[in-house]
Each structure stands twice: as structure tokens, then as C-alpha cells.
């Protein structure tokens, strides 16, 4: 069963501006020219670490990788990069991240690349990035 993607989106949309302001959100420190968007402690399954990543056709760059939910899902933050790949039964669903509580589904279905296990590849052609790699 699809892991409550609609619930995640609904929670993101349900947080009103006054409620969001009341949530004490830690200030994220800039990392090599970008700011890491904070992840709620209840979603984090490990600590954030620095990796190399690439999204779509862009060159590989430094990114912050945060594991989520303990199931292979993760958030990538980097220069012009703020994405979550939510994994459910070996398939991925891509979200663009705007803040700790604001995410929008932007891609179709992603599957792990058989030749490069560090990468997830879009199954269908969409405006979303065709490939997400985290090394």
C-alpha cells in the first residue's frame, strides 16, 4: 500500500501560516553555498551527512543527504536542490521541498537504476528530473 503520500501532502497543506509560525523550527546552517531545509525529528531516521549528488542533467555536486522513515526514503539539499524521494515497495515518488512542512509531488514513478544503484530513474517522461543520484 502506498505509504501515506496523500497524508504527507495533506499535512503539508493543512499547516496554516499561524500554526507554522508557532512551530519552533531550527535555523539551518548554510552548507557550501546552500541552506539545508530542516527535517522534522519524527521523519528523520539517521543523521544528515555530506555526499555527492546529481539531479537530472546537472553535474555532480556536494549535497546534504538525510535518511527518512527508515525505509530508504531520503531528502537531498544542495545548490538549487531540495528534493525528497519517498520509497514504497521499491518504488520512489519525488517531492520538491520548500520548507520543513511544505512539499509538492512533482514526478512520476522512480525505480532504482540496475546499473548504478546510487541512482533512481524516472519510469515515465515528466517535467521532473529524470534521474536522482546520491553517492
Q: Which of 39, 92, 46 is nearest to 67 (CA)?
A: 46
d(CA 85, CA 3): 12
Lowest mean pLDDT among 11-20, 37-46, 61-70, 98-107: 11-20
Cβ contact 85:73 at 8 Å: yes
CA angle centred on 49, ends 72 and 95, rounded to 5°: 50
pLDDT of residue 12: 39
- Please name the residue that has the C-alpha cell 535555523: 27
Each residue's pLDDT tens digit, 50-94: 999 999 999 999 999 999 999 999 999 999 999 999 999 999 999
The model's pTM: 0.76
In the chain, which ranges are continuous DSSP H helix?
Answer: 5-14, 17-22
Amino acid at each position: 500500500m502506498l505509504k501515506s503520500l496523500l497524508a504527507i501532502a495533506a499535512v503539508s497543506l493543512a499547516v496554516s501560516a499561524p500554526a507554522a509560525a508557532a512551530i519552533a523550527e531550527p535555523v539551518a546552517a548554510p552548507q557550501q553555498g546552500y541552506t539545508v531545509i530542516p527535517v522534522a525529528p519524527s521523519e528523520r531516521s539517521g543523521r544528515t551527512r555530506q555526499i555527492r549528488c546529481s539531479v537530472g542533467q546537472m553535474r555532480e555536486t556536494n549535497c546534504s543527504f538525510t535518511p527518512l522513515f527508515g525505509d530508504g526514503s531520503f531528502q537531498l539539499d544542495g545548490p538549487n536542490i531540495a528534493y525528497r524521494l519517498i520509497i514504497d515497495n521499491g518504488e520512489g515518488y519525488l517531492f520538491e521541498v520548500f520548507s520543513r512542512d511544505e512539499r509538492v509531488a512533482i514526478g512520476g514513478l522512480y525505480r532504482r537504476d540496475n546499473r548504478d544503484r546510487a541512482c533512481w530513474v524516472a519510469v515515465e517522461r515528466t517535467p521532473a528530473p529524470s534521474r536522482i543520484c546520491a553517492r
